[in-house]
């Protein structure tokens, strides 16, 4: 089973973002970030821009976009999922707006349209003619906010465990060290005929063993 080096991929994205700071010095997002920093510190914006143009590594690293705020974990997972043979129509869904999809308490998938729900649909794809809907979380370490992410996945499974429609399937995709000992618990406590907790890395094995293709 291939291993995704999450931290290395996040690091590479961070370095990419750092390398773009100088060329984006006139961009709106960077101008706003510099101005906010100046308000807090009384440091002159032009001094900061001079540091950027002089390739100051500390300043550019501080100002660069944070990969963790760019849905980097979903993109890493998505890059792996689309390589799985048999998967088609894979999509990373928007978090909000008319095209966002959410899960209702009774296991129905609907468009958001302003409806509040902590059970978001992050991915969808087709495999063996079945429409898969996925909620994805990446959690590295334990803690309060991380426990909230775990609870979100458990709620996702709770809402889908009574679904019997064989045309759909729901996956709680849990990645990161935090979930190493929790996947088995999730699949015992929240088991259902059309839902499952998996990691991105064992998704291929799960699909091939659970939905064998007709030769």
- What are the pLDDT tens digits along the chain (215 aa)? 458 999 999 999 999 999 999 999 999 999 999 999 999 999 999 999 999 999 999 999 999 999 999 999 999 999 999 999 999 999 999 888 888 888 888 888 888 765 555 578 999 999 999 999 999 999 987 666 678 889 999 999 999 998 989 999 999 999 998 998 899 999 999 989 999 999 999 999 999 999 876 43
The rounded distance, in Å, linking the Cα atoms of 187 and 2 is: 22
Residue identified by tokens 């290395």 is 8
Q: Is the dihedral of CA 94, 153, 7, 60 positive or negative?
A: positive
Task: Tell me which H or E stretch contains 174.
Answer: strand 168-175
Minimal CA–CA distance to 158: which of 123, 197, 203? 197
The rounded distance, in Å, linking the Cα atoms of 186 and 16 is: 36
pTM of the model: 0.87
The β-bridge partners of 168 are: 131
The rounded distance, in Å, linking the Cα atoms of 130 and 165 is: 10
The rounded distance, in Å, linking the Cα atoms of 171 and 214 is: 22
The rounded distance, in Å, linking the Cα atoms of 48 and 103 is: 45
The rounded distance, in Å, linking the Cα atoms of 104 and 120 is: 9
What is the 8-class DSSP label of residue 192?
B
Q: What are phi and psi of 195, to 5 degrees?
A: -150, 155
């Amino acid at each position: 089973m291939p291993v995704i080096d999450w931290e290395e991929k996040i690091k590479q994205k961070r370095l990419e973002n750092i390398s773009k700071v100088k060329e984006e010095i006139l961009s709106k997002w960077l101008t706003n970030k510099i101005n906010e920093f100046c308000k807090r510190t009384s440091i002159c914006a032009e001094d900061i821009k001079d540091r950027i143009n002089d390739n100051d590594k500390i300043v550019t690293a501080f100002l660069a976009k944070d990969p963790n705020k760019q849905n980097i974990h979903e993109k890493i997972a998505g890059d792996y999922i689309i390589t799985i043979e048999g998967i088609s129509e894979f999509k990373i869904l928007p978090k909000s707006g008319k095209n966002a999809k959410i899960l209702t308490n009774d296991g129905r998938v609907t468009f958001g349209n302003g409806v509040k729900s902590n059970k978001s649909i992050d991915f969808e794809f087709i495999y063996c003619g079945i429409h898969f809907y996925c909620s994805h979380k990446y959690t590295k370490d334990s803690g309060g906010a991380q426990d909230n992410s775990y609870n979100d996945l458990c709620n996702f499974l709770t809402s889908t465990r009574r679904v019997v429609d064989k045309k759909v399937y729901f996956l709680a995709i849990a990645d990161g060290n935090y979930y190493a000992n929790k996947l088995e618990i999730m699949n015992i406590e929240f088991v259902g005929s059309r839902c499952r907790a998996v990691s991105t890395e064992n998704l291929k094995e799960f699909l091939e063993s659970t939905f064998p293709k007709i030769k």
